[in-house]
Structure 1
């Protein structure tokens, strides 16, 4: 596998609380990889370590070929992180937000960069409006557009559709698919089973600080036998797999 992200034996504790207990996974270049888990499973902690915002207690991780512990500057130059809540300046217009980030990254012709991203994310008509007037989906699309300034090889999306209505969620899903189609490697965290099912090339189920299963949607569904309902074979859903695996871990 042509891995853009590799994680081996990653551990992190806060005092007596063990958040990550030896996490291992790899993310292929240009793919969408989902860390699926409930609140408190350790998803955000893992992403913060990969983005060099936290130091791991043990284990190794690399992003774009750079070690997150010893080559943090190179990692930060290769990635972008979009958190659970859109980090846009609501006083500025959509275009002004993009121009500001382009200037902070010392890019030539920030206005042209902003206009290209507005067009790419379907925000040209709203570019002159204050971000405070944007819908949730528009604000999240603007946030992701800001994250792409500088052409990062990897983008981390931490709970990208938290608080969004169904229509806005679909907008964000389409945006994420476009990113991967353009060659960007996407690692997203989510607690929404349908989101992982719709977007991810591979899904790792993170439960109580451990990866308890990792595979494609098809591989995960094969972990449970199909159910027979009125003589019609019913394949297990990702929800069936997730609940069966996490309940098995809790009972162990």
Structure 2
């Protein structure tokens, strides 16, 4: 039996493989899909990847919306956060994008808490914020050093220093004033004042702020020697200069001292006279002053 002529050896194996594939038409059903996959991969890595990188290089601040702030927040929160942080470099494709956004906005002195961050279609971002609310103004007073009579600091109910750049002296009558002589802030905007007497007074101002006009509270001061009182003892001065002894800050009452709610009821009902001690129940000798 005659032998079939064998194909001459080809020193180029790839060429030999292609020849065999050509002779096997069914193989093209596998080759063309593979070629398309390879071509698509290179197109995506070279062109589409560049397109994605350009489109999602960073989060556009114009597409970021935040909760409507109250009237004392007079600055652009989004713009200030972007300028103070690295959000301009944050890509929306970053898996930690929402967490990083929350951390950045939480650093703003007007922001008390970031409630939520949501990425929306079209590259938009919605940030829900809880803002700090100013309740008191602290004026620097001193018997030892000359001070600027116009120097003041705005505080929230936790004694945190708030921005004053956009506020004026015309805003100060809206708040309860705090006066503690020889006290100076040691913190920055967005941090506690740094003096427990002032922070305690701010806590009381938060309680009284809603009824300030009704009670006509003008000022909160601190009485006694702070070195002797572990808990600051507070006094109230009304608009007609009636002085009342409040006692401990709300929630920090000493043994035998009336709770803040009982003291507040006396104030609202006018159960006080000049020099009344609200720590103990008293029967007023005259009407409200």
TM class, shorter-length? under 0.3
Alignment TM-score, normalising by the size of structure 1 = 0.27
Comparing both chains, which one has the higher relative contact order based on Cα–Cα distances under 8 Å and sequence gaps of 6 or more?
1
Q: TM-score, normalised by structure 2?
A: 0.24
Which is higher, the Rg of structure 1 or of structure 2?
Answer: 2
